[in-house]
């Protein structure tokens, strides 16, 4: 049996537009973000994808993205599982700050280390390694068994929680995953075998 996993980063948020560190703060989608979510829903519908299970984070930009996708897919009255394990990386003291202001305060090199290193967290926040430490156990206990059973699963989440999943699924190194860009509203589709291993990545 082969399961299908669809990972979608939320559409552009109000704070993405303003170039702010967001993390666990809770802005909603911009008009462009809503359009991105709807276009992804249309693309999945065109491929004939009908998920069995739906997961998202505790943050409304991801929840709103999933709702708009389901609307376009004409899928109604389904159970959606929301869990903080799928939340974005917590940016701690950087949350709410303009990225240029953060560079002015701490220096460009330090901010780059916080943003692009694997295991160096910003003050009061999480590194990508920390994010993976909460996201992967949830994936392995709650989602992977369903994929092994042949289910189709749709997850709407965030750049860094999805990076943690992509790193595990594709067997990437910390250096490789830090170079992987995950665009807003863009789906990534995997076929996962009964042994839990990646069989193929599907182009949308």
Q: Exactly one of 36, 64, 88, 158 is catalytic; which is it?
A: 88
pLDDT for 179-188, tens place per residue? 999 999 999 9
Is 109 annotated in the active site?
A: no
Work out the pLDDT band at 204, boundaries 50, 70, 90. confident
**pLDDT at 163 (0 to 100):** 97
The CA-atom distances, in angstroms, between 1 and each of 116, 145, 201 are 37, 12, 16
202 φ, ψ (degrees, to nearest 5): -100, 130
pLDDT for 66-116, tens place per residue? 999 999 999 999 999 999 999 999 999 999 999 999 999 999 999 999 998
Domains in the chain, CATH or no CATH each: 3-17+28-91+127-202 (3.40.50.1240)
Positive or negative torsion for Cα 142, 169, 154, 114: positive
Q: Look-up: residue for tokens 């943003």?
A: 115
pLDDT for 134-174, tens place per residue? 999 999 999 999 999 999 999 999 999 999 999 999 999 99
Above 90 in pLDDT, residue 1?
A: no
**pLDDT at 56 (0 to 100):** 98
**pLDDT at 186 (0 to 100):** 93
**pLDDT at 116 (0 to 100):** 87
- Give one word for 163, left, alpha or beta, with left for phi > 0 and alpha for psi -120 to 50: alpha
Is 88 annotated in the active site?
A: yes
Q: Exactly one of 10, 36, 64, 158 is catalytic; which is it?
A: 10
pLDDT for 21-62, tens place per residue? 999 999 999 999 999 999 999 999 999 999 999 999 999 999
């Amino acid at each position: 049996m082969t399961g299908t996993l669809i990972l979608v980063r939320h559409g552009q948020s109000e704070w993405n537009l303003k170039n702010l560190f967001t993390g666990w703060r809770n802005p909603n989608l911009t008009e462009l973000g809503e359009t991105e979510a709807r276009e992804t829903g249309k693309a999945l519908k065109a491929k004939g994808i009908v998920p069995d299970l739906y997961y998202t984070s505790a943050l409304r930009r991801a929840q709103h993205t999933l709702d708009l996708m389901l609307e376009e897919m004409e899928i109604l009255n389904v159970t959606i599982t929301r869990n903080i394990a799928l939340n974005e990386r917590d940016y701690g003291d950087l949350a709410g700050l303009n990225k240029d202001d953060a560079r002015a305060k701490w220096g460009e090199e330090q901010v780059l280390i916080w943003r692009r290193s694997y295991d160096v967290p910003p003050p009061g926040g999480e590194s990508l390694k920390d994010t993976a430490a909460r996201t992967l156990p949830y994936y392995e206990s709650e989602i992977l068994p369903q994929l092994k059973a042949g289910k189709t699963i749709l997850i709407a989440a965030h750049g860094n929680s999805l990076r943690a999943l992509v790193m595990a699924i594709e067997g990437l190194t910390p250096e490789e995953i830090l170079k992987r860009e995950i665009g807003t509203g863009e789906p990534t589709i995997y076929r996962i075998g009964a042994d839990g291993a990646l069989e193929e990545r599907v182009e949308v």
